[in-house]
Chain A
Amino acid sequence: GNSVTQMEGPVTLSEEAFLTINCTYTATGYPSLFWYVQYPGEGLQLLLKATKADDKGSNKGFEATYRKETTSFHLEKGSVQVSDSAVYFCALRNGGSQGNLIFGKGTKLSVKP
């Protein structure tokens, strides 16, 4: 079946450090891949997405590249800020009308000044 595996958290970084959150997936067919972010007490916000192999999604300094050969979609940011502290979820959605989002377990990021 389809699944998403994320690196275990929590991740604690100092401001301006480089961020990588690993995400790998198992899926049949050609899924779309997403990163969502959840701030305390809020719902999920779409951070970025990629719909086919070699696509790079980017938003607010975050990037992730859809790697079909390694079935990965790692999230990166060159210089994190305190305001980036949140929980990050990697997700996939298979094509077709029956496709729901399948999430990883989330990675909590804390950025210290």
Chain B
Amino acid sequence: KAGVTQTPRYLIKTRGQQVTLSCSPISGHRSVSWYQQTPGQGLQFLFEYFSETQRNKGNFPGRFSGRQFSNSRSEMNVSTLELGDSALYLCASSPGDAHHGYTFGSGTRLTVV
């Protein structure tokens, strides 16, 4: 069974640019969540999508957005990049039930210069 696949693994962008990250969940999983990991703030929840609908959102500015497609694949977009957006972005998928843990991908390491 294939795991959660995130692309690309590494990305370098310039301040002010925008970026799109992609996540393919485990087959059959309908919930996809995104987390930001930084040394200072730790792991912070960005948003969750379930069956193409955003059903939960963390406390991030509107520059961070996402979407989910009918095949459950998800993308997140960050516009007008800032240096502080440099982080490891992790995608996680779940069948959707609250008692299941999430399965995480290996992440996309974004560096903003």
Contact = CB atoms under 8 A, between A and B. Distances in A.
A binds B: yes
Given A43-B107, A97-B55, A49 B42 contact: no
A100 interface: yes
Interface string A73-113: 00000000000000001000111111111111110000000
Contacts of B25: none
Q: For chain B, which range describes its interface: under 10, 10 to 19, 20 to 34, or 35 or more residues?
A: 20 to 34
B50 to A, nearest CB: 7
A95 B96 CA distance: 11
Interface in B1-57: 4, 6, 33, 35, 42-43, 45, 48, 50, 55-56
Contacts of A104: 42
B33 A101 contact: yes
Contacts of B99: 32, 51, 93, 95
A102 B102 contact: no
A32 B98 CA distance: 8
The 10 closest A-B pairs by CB, nearest first: A43-B104, A103-B43, A44-B104, A46-B101, A95-B98, A51-B99, A43-B106, A100-B45, A99-B98, A105-B42
